[in-house]
Structure 1
Amino acid sequence: MTVITFTAEGRLDGDKVIVDLNGTEIKVGLLGSDNPTPEEFCLASAISCLILTVYYIAREKGVTINSIEGYIEGKMDTKGFQGVEEVPPGLLEVSYELIVYSKDSRISDILKEAEERCPMRDTLTRSVKVNINWKIKS
C-alpha cells in the first residue's frame, strides 16, 4: 500500500479563513461573503478531480480527448448549519454534468472507469474517518 498525505493550513482573518495550500494562499468565506465558501471549494475539488481522472485514464489507455467541460452543483439546507438538529449541516446532494469531446469509441469505458477511480467522488460517497484534536490556549 502506498499512502500519501495531503495537507492544508488555515487561520481566521476577520470573517474569513486564509488557507495555505503548498504556498498558495486562498481566502475562504461564509455564505454571502465575497469569498468562495468551503462548500464551493468542495465542489471545485470534486469536478476538477473527475475531469482530471478522465484525462489521466484516457492518457493511460491511449484515448484521445479533445476537451472536457462541466458543471457541478451541491444542495444544502442552511437550517442544518444554523443548528436545527434534524437537518444535516452539510451538502445533501451533489450533481455533475459533464461534456466530453472525443471521437474514440472507447470513451464510454473511460468515463465509467473514471467514476470508479475518482478520489473525490469516492470521498463524497463513503464514510471517511475524521479526527479533530482541539488545543485551547490563553
Structure 2
Amino acid sequence: MRLGRHTVRSDEPASLGGQDGAPNPVEYALAALLSCQAVTYRVWAVKLGIEVEDIDITIEGDLDVRGFFGLDEQTRPGFGQARVAVQVRGPETPQRYAELQAAVDAHCPVLDLFTNPTTVRTALTVVRLPEQASILDRPGKDGEGRTT
C-alpha cells in the first residue's frame, strides 16, 4: 500500500491466514503511537526548553481476537488497552519531565486517535462483472480470451 511517497507491506501471522512477511495492521497502530510519542517528546522538549539526552519508549497492547472473529459481540475488535513506558534521560528535575509528559499527552496526534472517538467515513464502490463473464471468458492482456 502507498502512504504518501512510501510503500509499506502488511501481513498477518500464519495463524490468522497470512505468511508473517510484514507487520500486521495492529502492530502498525502500536508503531504509529510509539513513533508519534518519540517525535512529540522531541518537539515539546525543545518548545519547553527541557533538555533530553535520550529517550526510550516501549509499547504493548492487549487485543482479544474474539472481537475480530465475531466470536464474542461484547468484545472489542481493537485494543482493550495499550501501555506506553517512557524512560527519559537528562539533567532536568522529575517535575520538568512530568511537565514534558503532560505536554506530550495533550499534543500527540496518534495518542489522540487512541484515546478519543474519531469519525471515520467509509466509501464503498462496487464494480460488478457482467453476469455471463467468468475469469476464463475475460480478455487477457492481448485481447484474447483465456483458456485453461
- Correspondence for 2:138: none
Amino acid paired to 1:61: L
Distance 1:95 1:63 in 2: 24
Distance 1:45 1:57 in 2: 18
Counterpart among 98, 102, 125 of residue 115 in structure 2? 125
- Correspondence for 1:87: 75
Distance 2:13 2:68 in 1: 11
Could you give the per-residue CA deviations for residues 76-122 of structure 1, whole angstroms, max 9, x where no partner exists?
11111111222211111100111111112322211121111111111
Amino acid paired to 2:81: E
Distance 2:13 2:78 in 1: 13
- Correspondence for 1:37: 24
- Correspondence for 1:78: 65
**Scaled by the length of structure 2, what TM-score is found?**
0.76
Runs of 4+ in 1 over 3 A off after TM superposition: none
Greater Rg by CA? 2
- Correspondence for 1:22: 4
Residue 38 of structure 1 deviates from its aligned partner by: 0.5
Distance 1:39 1:128 in 2: 17
RMSD of the alignment, in Å? 1.2
Matched residue SS, 1:28: coil
Structure 2 unaligned residues grouped into runs of 5+: 15-19, 129-148
Residue 61 of structure 1 deviates from its aligned partner by: 2.0
- Correspondence for 2:88: 100
Amino acid paired to 1:96: V
Matched residue SS, 1:92: strand
**Scaled by the length of structure 1, what TM-score is found?**
0.81
Matched-pair identity in %: 24
Counterpart among 84, 88, 106 of residue 116 in structure 1? 106
Amino acid paired to 1:47: L
Q: Which structure features the higher share of strand residues?
A: 1
Distance 2:63 2:103 in 1: 28
